[in-house]
Amino acid sequence: MMVHLSPLLILATVLQLRTAVAAGYIQLDTVRKRDANAPPTVYDRMVKRADPHEWTLTNQDNYYYLVNITVGDPPQEFQAHLDTGSSDLWVIDKDNPLCAKTDEQYRLALQFIDYTDCNQSGTFDPDASTTLDMTDEDFFVQYADTRAAEGKFAHDDVTVAGATIKQMKLGVAETTNCTMIIGIGLPSNEYSVLLYNSEPYPNLPARMAQEGLINTNAYSLWLNDVNENKGSVLFGGVDHAKYDGTLQTLPIVDVAYYPPKSSLAVMMSGLTVSPQKDDSDPVQLFSGNIAVTLDSGAAMSYLPYEVVNEIGTALDAEFDFTTEMYYTRCNYEGYFEFEFNGFTIKAPFSDFLTPAPSSDGGYATYSDGTPMCSIGMKQSSYSDGPYSLGDSFLRNAYVVYDLDRMEISLAQAKFGVSDSDIDPIDSNGVPSATRAQGYDQTATAAVLSMETIPANEDFTLTGQPTTLDHTEPPLVTGGFETDFSFDTAPTASYSWASPTFSSFDFSFTTISFSFPTFSLITSAFGGPPDFSSLDISDFGGPTGSFPSVPTSLLASISALRNGGGGGGDSGDGTSTQNRDALRATVALAGLFAVVTTGLIVY
């Protein structure tokens, strides 16, 4: 599943065809380069006859990975985004109206706004393929960052890594603002299944197994170090030379808001942060099971609100409400330990830090000249998920996805390895893998056990000092596409939470408003909704109110985070809290809203 991340560093991974089809598996190399416009580096090496099919990957701007693919006869070549978080394969129609053509449109495409750079993926000419069979079945898919594609389903010949799948079902996107995607997740995660409850169809890895190109519907992902050029995705095989220790196997589990067994998710049981500072000890930020999707289509990771806040505190970071991200110094050293019920995967902070852009087109710095970086972890949109670990994590793990057995095996990845020791995967499972100690621990924790880290805050104290306590500004997420205003609010319900931290506890004050039932449904490309036919009587004002702010809290502490947000006025202790702290972005009917006391302004 793709997610929004502003382009900060051009790092492309171009998939080059490495081998002919070999019995049992398909093997591809990954190639990475820093200039997206430069020709990709090609590594010629022979693969033993029994190898699976190996595909070459390209690490594009935000660390998402591309593969080379051809469709049709005569073959038309494309570079597609390889995505374990989705399951549909689709191409971009040559007449897509959202292909960038002007400098301004290309600029917007770089920011994932409105347009896409069709030159990056390539476009498909349906009339040029003699093997294409178009259907009347509607195709539609939408990703987590609001990019989408719509058109028709078709059948055509698809070739990857020397293997040709005849009459593969794929989407032909007549309108899209997105890069072409090859989803290799579970068929139950196909968008037509999620949206229309349609029957799943065999997608790319499933068809490879059906055609006997690989022994079983399984593949291994090795993205390699961020500074290396080469990695691989191995369909039908496992490369023992690419990891340390033993592959630990976990069952695929369900995630929030998705049908059962539709996401490639496992239980993550904890997260420890280890800053490399003289006075810092490792701190386990939380313990307790949460289901996380291992998503190669996402540059960043999405975790619970309170966990991301603790990560920000641990890395001395500042939160920006515009981007909804934490920012810290790029030279911050240390590592995370991701815990999976019996084993851990380590990942350095540096893999999660991306230089932040400045308004002058360069990169932001602190007052002492130290570069500023965003932290590639964001708060999930909902308190109960879904959660995911993206490429910043996956670069540090060797991951084997066994879709037939509904299991995922992980080990600590090795970097810079040129040797191979490949075994095919069959119905008996992944060779040399062992069940993790907590394999059967598949229940999600009702409450996470949190270890909070006191923040390095500046406080104004007018009463009893509480220097280990502070209150974060309210958080609500969402998006609006147009501006309009009413004296009373459109109908919906929403809430936000103001977490209170201390060295001993973690608590939420939740503020809720509700409105009469009202909904708007618009096409992904239909533009903003038309309110001209609506009367003001169709809208109702909010019910609910801001809770009373404890006088003791207001009297004792006003937390200032570098002059922004936080705290509250000590007036009547009710709804006269600091205006900056009350302003928040809210999800409502797919538009943007700003919340103030008793009024929503669009």
> 63: closest CA among 280, 299, 262, 292?
299
Distance (Å, whole) CA 539 – CA 490 = 5
Pick the catalytic residue from 29, 51, 61, 83: 83
C-alpha dihedral sign at 107, 111, 115, 116? positive
83 is catalytic: yes
565 phi-psi bin (left φ>0, alpha ψ -120 to 50, beta other): left
Q: What is the dihedral of CA 214, 216, 218, 222, to 10 degrees?
A: -40
Q: To which H or E segment does residue 196 belong?
A: helix 191-196
Whether residue 474 contacts residue 594, with contact meaning beta carbons closer than 8 Å, is answered with: no
> 455: closest CA among 573, 345, 315?
315
**Residue with tokens 């090859």, as numbered in its chain:** 182
Output the DSSP codes for 527-543: -S---TT--GGG----B
Q: Dihedrals φ, ψ of 119, to 5°?
A: -65, -25
Strand partners, 249: 409, 435
The DSSP letter of residue 357 is B
Distance (Å, whole) CA 505 – CA 180 = 46
**Helix extents (H) in 93-165:** 103-110, 118-121
Maximum Cα–Cα distance for the chain, whole Å? 80
Strand partners, 471: 500
3-state secondary structure of 554: helix
Q: To which H or E segment does residue 491 belong?
A: none
Distance (Å, whole) CA 320 – CA 327 = 8
368 is catalytic: no
3-state secondary structure of 109: helix
Q: Tell me how long the chain is.
A: 602
**Residue with tokens 């939470």, as numbered in its chain:** 497
3-state secondary structure of 137: strand
CA 297 to each of CA 120, 180, 242, 382: distance values in angstroms, whole numbers, following the listed order: 16, 12, 21, 20
Output the DSSP codes for 210-273: HTTSSSSSEEEEE---TT-SEEEEEETEEEGGGEEEEEEEEE----TTS-TT-S-EEEEEEEEE
Question: Helix/strand/coil (H, E, C) string of 356-376?
Answer: CECCCCCECECCCCCEEEEEC
Strand partners, 148: 142
Find all residues with CB under 8 Å of 59, minimum gap 6, and list them.
11, 12, 13, 30, 32, 65, 66, 223
**Residue with tokens 């959202």, as numbered in its chain:** 98
> 506: closest CA among 272, 309, 284?
309
> Which residue type occupies 439?
Y
Distance (Å, whole) CA 542 – CA 544 = 7
- DSSP strand E in 473-584: where? 493-501, 506-514, 558-560
Pick the catalytic residue from 295, 391, 402, 469: 295
Catalytic residue numbers read 83, 295
